[in-house]
């Protein structure tokens, strides 16, 4: 099987902040994983597919409004209709509101903020590839 991946880079906005201190809800990161999984499914099957479940999710570092996040998905295993994928989200730019309202740092070493593994499904009758 060829390696199939997706990479999405997004800046977290103030509307993504859900908690005090401009902290972004972890569900926002899972939403990015869902978008990346959809792209992987389209590349492999020609169909968006559906998420069945997350097998594991680990939130490893906080994300704040103004941070730039890269969400990466990789297709790891293909069953008859199931697709196992792994995900990693990394902070590549950190907002620095402590310095000023528009200050930010590009991170030489990205910070892993979330890892996950999930199963998606593409119905046989919808698979086009």
**Domain ranges, residue 47:** 5-126
The tokens of 57 are what? 């999710």
Answer for the pair 29, 113: CB distance below 8 angstroms, yes or no. Answer: yes
Strands 50-59 and 68-78, bridge-based pairing: unpaired
For residue 127, the model assigns a pLDDT of 81
DSSP reduced 3-state for 36:
helix
Here the CATH number for the domain that contains residue 62 is: 3.10.129.10
The tokens of 44 are what? 């492999």
The tokens of 46 are what? 């020609």
For residue 101, the model assigns a pLDDT of 86
Reading the chain (129 residues) residue by residue, the pLDDT tens digits are 789 999 999 999 999 998 988 999 999 999 999 999 999 999 999 999 999 999 999 999 999 999 999 999 999 999 999 999 999 999 999 999 899 988 999 999 999 999 999 999 998 888 887
Number of domains, the chain: 1
Answer for the pair 93, 106: CB distance below 8 angstroms, yes or no. Answer: yes
């Amino acid at each position: 099987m060829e390696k199939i991946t997706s990479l999405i880079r997004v800046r977290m906005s103030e509307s993504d902040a859900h908690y005090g201190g401009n902290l972004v809800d972890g569900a926002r990161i899972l939403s990015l994983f869902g978008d990346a999984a959809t792209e992987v499914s389209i590349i492999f099957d020609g169909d968006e597919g559906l998420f069945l479940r997350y097998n594991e999710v680990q939130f490893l570092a906080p994300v704040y409004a103004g941070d730039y996040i890269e969400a990466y998905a990789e297709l790891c295993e293909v069953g008859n209709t199931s697709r196992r994928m792994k995900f990693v989200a990394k902070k590549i730019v950190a907002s620095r509101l402590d310095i000023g309202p528009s200050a930010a740092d590009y991170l030489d070493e990205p910070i892993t903020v979330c890892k996950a593994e999930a199963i998606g499904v593409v119905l046989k009758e919808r698979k086009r590839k």
